[in-house]
Chains A and B, each alone.
Chain A
């Protein structure tokens, strides 16, 4: 099924998997170029930079220009990967992403790291919880949120082979390795059932996929069968998989390390409202800014836990 959960105890940040795969892609395809905005040590583009200095462009602390330059490089047939913290690559440079990249349909990959609360200690100024929303509303844009290192690796390769603007959301902190490379498949636009179930559909992305899986284990111990789906492509959203799941379960929970407004929850809610309305509860950041703290503490503080997911699942099931 392409999404078997591993029993591995290993934890790797998605940004690390991205940086390693980018280096591999660089070896295979001389058209791959990489841009960064003074954060290559953090975004992990440093490996590519070291191996291919002539194809790596540090643009300094100037994200708008980085995105515009990436568009120009793309016009000459290059495949630019532009990285920075998500706050700046998406937030600061949004209008360049919209006009220079997407309105032009240039083949630019914006692979931004340190998204969400799990940035941790840097605090609210850096913890972007709006990126999925502001990227997915731009026409021509594809939005991908890998759940673990395996998916980040496969997605990095897939977006290099895909023509068109892509935003890929990556994290700073180590996250459990959920999927075994040997059995893993990744297709842009395809959500994957990581655990089949019949009582409730739990849709998750990014770091919350592991939490959703653990919530499912809690529910199972109570005799509730939850279906857990990894919606790693937020746009275009996999309507088919979402609808076939809720047609079976009749209720839904969404989980994301993002504002409850405009992210995965709203994307799923949109599909459901237009096609098969069922009750849906959104687990996410409740429209407030983050703060300093350890990644795991922050997830607990803002209610992004397996317990809250399980509670939401019980609630939607009870109202069926």
Chain B
């Protein structure tokens, strides 16, 4: 079922706030990863404001849904959304990447609340999510484990070890979403190291697969709700391959390899903020 117009408008406002925050944080730090943060804005917005069960006052609430961020370089997005979700005020977000800041270059669970596991080294999050899903199932918790992957990290062999184990253990309580923005640090994924056909690979590993437009929040929402039904019914992990645009929302960053890991300067920030409105 699609979002009401009201809810969709509210979510769209949030995505604008998040994009502004991502740009300001990377600009202030003069480093960071804007491209892969901007591509996942809609995905995490739907998760945090329409799907996930969590309590910012009690980040370790045992029954919470687990949101595992395997693309740990999407810090400007993650820290911005955790602030918006109420884990902290976030009036100090511009200390991002500076000495003593809770907002590290790659997410760090010991320095800021709301983070399930510190990542940044690619290929760790899927294994962690498998463990969290096994633990939640042992405790018979009424929750799910959600996992955000980058596409580039699917080149890590460990990711496929984890993908194999998730279906072996019939983890119907696990939903992975791949931010398929098609660009990694050195260039297009298919030029750097071929990933396609990603969907068929997951299928071959025993997962339920959906492919969607990762910027269409109704599609994201529907696909996630489907995994909540299909996962437990078929006893298998589910993946949503979300086709996205790296640098989404800022015309000169979209689909540009350069913006994987470069921060906007003063002029670029002003221009980008103007575009977002």
Contacts and interface: CB of A to CB of B under 8 A. Distances in A.
Interface residues of B, number: 33
B131 interface: yes
A39 B169 CA distance: 18
A198 to B, nearest CB: 46
Contacts of B134: 33, 57, 69, 72-73
Interface in A155-172: none
B124 A96 contact: yes
B161 interface: yes
Contacts of B128: 68-69, 71-72, 75, 100
Interface stretch (B1-9, B115-123, B231-239, B240-248): B115-123
B136 interface: yes
B110 interface: yes
A103 interface: yes
A188 interface: no
Interface in B109-145: 109-110, 116-121, 123-124, 126-136, 138-139
B139 A76 contact: yes
A29 interface: no
Nearest to A54: B138
A64 interface: yes
Contacts of A99: 118-121, 124
B225 to A, nearest CB: 24
B62 interface: yes
A76 B124 contact: no
A104 B131 contact: no
With most chain A CB atoms within 10 A of its CB, the pick from B109, B120, B132 is: B132
A74 B165 contact: no
Contacts of B139: 76-77
B195 interface: no
A65 B162 contact: yes
A57 B120 CA distance: 26
A24 interface: no
Given A64-B158, A65-B165, A95-B121, A75 B132 contact: yes
B62 to A, nearest CB: 7
Interface in A93-135: 95-96, 99-100, 103-105
Given A62-B165, A69-B162, A73-B132, A104 B117 contact: yes
Between A69, A75, A96, A99, the greatest number of chain B beta carbons within 10 A of the residue's beta carbon is seen for A69
Contacts of B110: 104-105
Nearest to B133: A72
Contact of B131 (A54, A74, A103, A105): A74
B124 A75 contact: no
A135 to B, nearest CB: 18
Contacts of A73: 131-132, 134-135
Given A64-B158, A99-B121, A71 B135 contact: no
Interface string A29-63: 00001000000000000000000001101011010
Contact of A55 (B124, B138, B169): B138
A62 B162 CA distance: 9
B121 A65 contact: no
Contact of B132 (A62, A64, A72, A96): A72
Contact of B164 (A60, A67, A76, A103): A60
Nearest to A93: B158
Contact of B136 (A67, A76, A96): A76
A72 B121 contact: no
Best-surrounded residue of A74, A76, A105 (most CB of chain B within 10 A): A76
Contacts of A62: 158, 161, 164-165
A136 interface: no
A69 B121 contact: no
Contact of B130 (A54, A60, A65, A105): A65
Contacts of A246: none
A68 B169 contact: no
A294 to B, nearest CB: 34
Most B C-beta atoms less than 10 A away, residue of A57, A80, A99, A105:
A99
A67 B126 CA distance: 12
Contact of B135 (A64, A76, A96): A76
B169 A103 contact: no
Given A72-B135, A100-B128, A105-B110, A60 B165 contact: yes
B202 to A, nearest CB: 16
B121 A68 contact: no
A75 B135 contact: yes
7 contacts: A64-B127, A68-B158, A69-B165, A70-B131, A75-B117, A99-B119, A100-B127
Interface of B: 62, 66, 109-110, 116-121, 123-124, 126-136, 138-139, 157-158, 161-162, 164-165, 168-169
Given A72-B130, A78-B135, 6 more contacts: A70-B131, A71-B128, A72-B131, A77-B139, A100-B117, A104-B110
> Nearest 3 A-B pairs (CB), nearest first?
A72-B131, A68-B127, A76-B135
